[in-house]
């Protein structure tokens, strides 16, 4: 993979720091889009930076973390071309790569522990997209974006 970026809000900060340390330990380069401490911030500000960096092809994939992962899910999936997937188990993590070509991994810092989160990150990074019939389904999602754009609704 070309490049990976990570961001959180205050509720995801501790988990973000532990994932950054884990990735460094594993020799995986990751760009940290912040925040730099656990002072209160707004998750849309950080989620949108990661989504935009992917759409601008500055990075290939991203990891975002808030308290539950729900706020970040809502934010990043507003961006056409983003396939953000909230994961708290390994089966979903594997499937969201194989079937959905997830390009943003979302986790809840107040939901899962650091050990499970590391396994989720490892699985998400290592599992390839299967393509085939799944690509056809992703194409249908892109068609929805195109139709909304042509109607001026996006």
Q: Out of 10, 66, 87, 96, which one is annotated catalytic?
A: 66
One residue of 6, 9, 75, 85 binding ligand RB5 per CB under 6 A: 9
- Draw the binding track, 13-52, toward ligand RB5 (x: CB under 6 A; -: no contact): ------------------------------x---------
Q: How far apart are CA 89 and CA 112, in angstroms?
A: 9
Q: Which is nearer to ligand RB5, 74 or 138 (CB)?
A: 74
Q: Which residues pair with 61 in a beta bridge?
A: 4
State whether residue 88 is helix, strand or coil.
coil
Asked if residue 66 binds ligand RB5 (CB under 6 A), the reply is yes
Residues, the chain: 154
Residue in 119, 116, 123 with CA at minimum distance from that of residue 102: 123
Q: 19 - beta bridge partners?
A: none
For ligand RB5, the binding residue among 11, 53, 105, 117 (CB under 6 A) is 11
Is there a catalytic annotation at residue 24?
A: no
Q: Three-state SS for 4?
A: strand
Q: Please, are residues 39 and 98 in contact by the beta-carbon 8 Å criterion?
A: no
Residue 117 binding ligand RB5, by CB under 6 A: no
Q: For this structure, is 96 an active site residue?
A: no
The residues of the shown chain that bind ligand RB5, judged by CB under 6 A, are 9, 11, 43, 66-68, 70-71
Tell me which residues are annotated as active site.
66, 99
């Amino acid at each position: 993979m070309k490049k990976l970026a990570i961001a959180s809000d205050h509720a995801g900060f501790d988990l973000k720091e532990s994932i950054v340390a884990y990735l460094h330990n594993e020799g995986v380069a990751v760009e940290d889009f912040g925040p730099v401490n656990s002072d209160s911030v707004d998750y849309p500000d950080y989620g949108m930076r990661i989504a935009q960096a992917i759409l601008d092809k500055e990075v290939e994939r991203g990891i975002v973390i808030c308290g539950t992962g729900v706020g970040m899910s809502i934010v990043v999936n507003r961006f056409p071309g983003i396939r953000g997937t909230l994961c708290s188990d390994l089966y979903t993590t594997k499937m969201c790569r194989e079937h959905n070509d997830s390009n943003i991994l979302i986790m809840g810092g107040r939901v899962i522990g650091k050990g499970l989160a590391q396994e989720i990150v490892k699985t998400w990074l290592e599992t390839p997209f299967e393509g085939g019939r799944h690509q056809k389904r992703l194409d249908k999602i892109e068609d929805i974006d195109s139709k909304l754009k042509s109607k001026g609704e996006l």
